[in-house]
Structure 1
Amino acid sequence: MAKLLSLFSILAFVVAMSIVGSQAEDCAQDLSGLMSECKQYVMFPANPKMPPSDSCCGVVQKVNIPCLCSKVTKEIEKVVCMEKVVYIADKCKRPFSHGFKCGSYTVPAK
């Protein structure tokens, strides 16, 4: 598990460094907040899904989701369970709409 968290941290760092454009600073800051507050809720395995903490939801409420989702790669999807990401967003009252793409993951209908 420690190796998996280290891999996630490395991948997240690579993503943060690859973010360019006018939203770069905000998006990188969003990623940092998500890593510190939410990573335990979005890692594989897909089950069980745990309700997020208030601090995780606080970060989810503020992030630039389109910016972050545009940076999700196949490598990140090997470490981060996109089903759990959608679950956490929903629990934090910031649900993804049906058909929204985050990386290569398309949000299914409920």
Structure 2
Amino acid sequence: MAKSSAPIILLALLVNTMLVATNASGCENDVNSLRATCLRFVGVNGPKIEPDKNCCNAVRGADIPCVCTYLTPAVEKVISADKVVFVAQQCGRPLKPGSKCGSVVVHGR
């Protein structure tokens, strides 16, 4: 009988999210707001999907470059830096070409 890995994944997500929130001393409110509203759009699983209005409102009010500095390799096991960049762009807050968000370097168009 195989056990579900969902509780383990949920625990890892919670721990990693808590690590981001506690490390992001300069932007912990932004991290918490984005975690609450955008998590389903930036998770590692699944395709990129356009963020909803609530997520975009949080993105527009956040210091995204600050949040990006806290996307550590451990956090990136749960949060996709590529999707964070995508969501920021979709919400009208694209990161500057050459900037870094987690492990992703933003390219210009």
Q: Shorter-chain TM-score category?
A: 0.7 to 0.9
Unmatched tracts of structure 1, length 5 or more: none
Q: How many residues align?
A: 104
The correspondence of residues 5-84 of structure 1 with structure 2, limited to 5 A, is 5-20=10-25, 23=26, 27-45=27-45, 47-84=46-83
Contact 2:81 2:104 in 1 (8 A): yes
- Structure 1 residues 36 and 93: CA distance shift in structure 2, 3 A: same
Q: Report the secondary structure of 1:88's partner residue.
A: helix
Shift of 1:109: 3.6
Quick check: which has more Rg, 1 or 2? Answer: 2
Calculate the aligned-residue CA RMSD, in Å. Answer: 1.8
One-letter identity of the residue aligned with 2:60: Q
Q: Could you list the per-position Cα deviations for residues 11-66 of structure 1 after superposition, in whole angstroms to 9, with x for gaps in the alignment?
A: 1211221234xx3xxx1111111111000001113x52111010000000011122
Which residue of 1 is the match for residue 3 of structure 2?
Answer: none
Q: For 1:64 and 1:6, locate their aligned partners in 2 and report how far apart those are by CA, in whole Å.
A: 27
C-alpha displacement of 1:2: 5.6
| Other structure's SS at 2:74 match | helix
